Amino acid sequence: MSRSVETNHNIVFDCKYHVVFCPKYRKKVLTEPVDIRLKELFLEKAMELCAEIVEMEIMPDHVHLLIKCDPQFGIHRVVKHLKGFTSRVLRMEFRHLKSRLPSLWTNAYFVATVGTVQLDVIKKYIESQKERSD
């Protein structure tokens, strides 16, 4: 992964998040053609939110996304918008989802930050800053 930074005129950032979430009851409903449409919807909504989906994989019972977004907007808001939008559209377009599930997604999700450098490198860099200012 190359190091590219973004700016929102307030901050310069390089924030990437690994996000995983599941359909309600972990039902295996994300199969063709639902999975293909879901990918399209994720990309469409991410662009609207000024976020970038760097990678994505749709499994029958869960979703993996690697998302780059503005930390001031927040990963929580990005995930909330992605889940809400895709649930609404997919349940309208694929009637079987509406009859099998009270809502498409669970409320919960997993998120972890993804760095371009290792933690120990950053710790050493921060520690060395005091020495530089002396």
Catalytic residues: 125
Asked if 102 and 52 touch (Cβ cutoff 8 Å), the reply is no
Q: Give exposure, 43-75, as e/b (b: 16+ Cβ within 10 Å).
A: eebbeebebebeebebeeebbebbbbbbeeeeb
